[in-house]
Chain A
Amino acid sequence: MDERNFQFMFYGFAVAWFLLAAYLLTLVARESKLRKEVDTLKRMLEERENKG
C-alpha cells in the first residue's frame, strides 16, 4: 500500500469507528438506565396497589 498520508488516513478511520462505538455505548448506557427506571416505577405501583 502507498503509505503517503497514512497517519491522516488512520485519523479518518479512527473518527468513523470512534463515533460509531461511542454512539453504541451511549445506547447501551441509555437502555440500562431506562430499564432501571421502568422497573422502579413498576415496583412502586405494585407496592401502592398492595397497600391500597
Chain B
Amino acid sequence: MKTKILMAMALFSGLYLVRNLYVILLQLPDEAAQGAIYRIMYFHVPGWITSFSAYFLAAVASIYYLVKRDSRADEFAVALTEVGTIFTMLGLGTGMVWARIIWGVWWVWDPRLTWAFICFLIYAGYLLLRKTIDEPGQRARIAAVVSLFAFVSVVITYKSIDWWRTQHPGAVLSFRTGGEQRMDPAMEHMLFQNWFALTAFAGVIMMLRLGQERMQRELDALRRYTHNL
C-alpha cells in the first residue's frame, strides 16, 4: 500500500514536472532583458524554497527528538536534511549558470551567495558528522543540536537580501513583497506550480531515503546482535 502511494506520488510529480517544462519553455512570455536564461528561475527559486522547507522540517524533527528521544524523529531529520542538501546544490548550480550570463561571472562573494554557500557547507558537515559517530543515541543527540544551529544559516540566507545590499536580486515574489506584484502574474503562478511539483518530488525521494535509513538501522541492529552471539 505504502509502495503504491509512493509510486503514485512519483508518477504524479514526474508528469507534473514534464508538463511544467513544456509550459516554461513554450508558453510563458519572454523576459525583456534576459532572454531565455531567465527561465532558470523556475528551477532555481523553487529549488531553494524546497531546500529551506526541508531544513525547517528537519529542525522541527530535531526539536522533537531532543524533547521525546524518539528515534523516528532522527530518521526524519536525516532524510530531510539529505534531500534539502541536494536541493541546495540545485539552487547553487542553477544560480551560477544564471550569474555567468547576467553578471558575467560564475560567482561573487556577495552576502546572499556567501551565506547560501555557508548554509550548504554546514548541512554537508551535518551529514558527514553523522558518519563519524557510531553510537546511535549520541549520534542522534549531537546531530539534532547541530541541525538546530544549522537552521540559523537558513534564516540568515533567506533574510540576507533584506538585511544587506546584495548583487543578488531582491525579493520579487508577492508573499515577500507584501502583495506588491513585481513580476508577471503568469510567471509567478508558474513558479509556484513548479515549486509544488518539486516539493512532491522531494517528498518521494525523502520517503525513499527514510526507508533506507530504517533499513540501515535494522542492519546495524542485526550486526550488533551477530557480534554479541
Number of A-B contacts (CB under 8 A): 94
Binds A, one of B55-63, B137-145, B220-228: B220-228
Name the A residues within 8 Å of B35 (CB-CB).
2-6, 9
**Chain B: how many interface residues by the 8 Å CB criterion?**
38
Binds A, one of B112-120, B165-173, B184-192, B208-216: B208-216
Given contacts A19-B86, A19-B93, contact A12 B40 (CB under 8 A): yes
B37 touches A9 (CB 8 A): yes
A5's partner among B36, B89, B90, B229 (CB-CB below 8 A) is B36
Name the A residues within 8 Å of B212 (CB-CB).
27, 30-31, 34
Q: How far is the CA of A44 from the CA of B44 in the complex (A)?
A: 48
Name the B residues within 8 Å of A30 (CB-CB).
212
A12's partner among B43, B201, B208, B226 (CB-CB below 8 A) is B43
Name the A residues within 8 Å of B226 (CB-CB).
41, 44-45
- Binding site secondary structure of chain A: helix
Given contacts A12-B97, A48-B229, contact A41 B222 (CB under 8 A): yes
Name the A residues within 8 Å of B94 (CB-CB).
12, 15-16
Name the B residues within 8 Å of A20 (CB-CB).
86, 90, 201, 205
List 17 A-B residue pairs with CB atoms under 8 Å apart, sorted by A's residue number. A1-B36, A3-B36, A4-B35, A5-B37, A8-B98, A8-B100, A11-B97, A12-B37, A12-B93, A13-B40, A15-B93, A16-B90, A16-B94, A24-B205, A34-B212, A34-B215, A41-B223
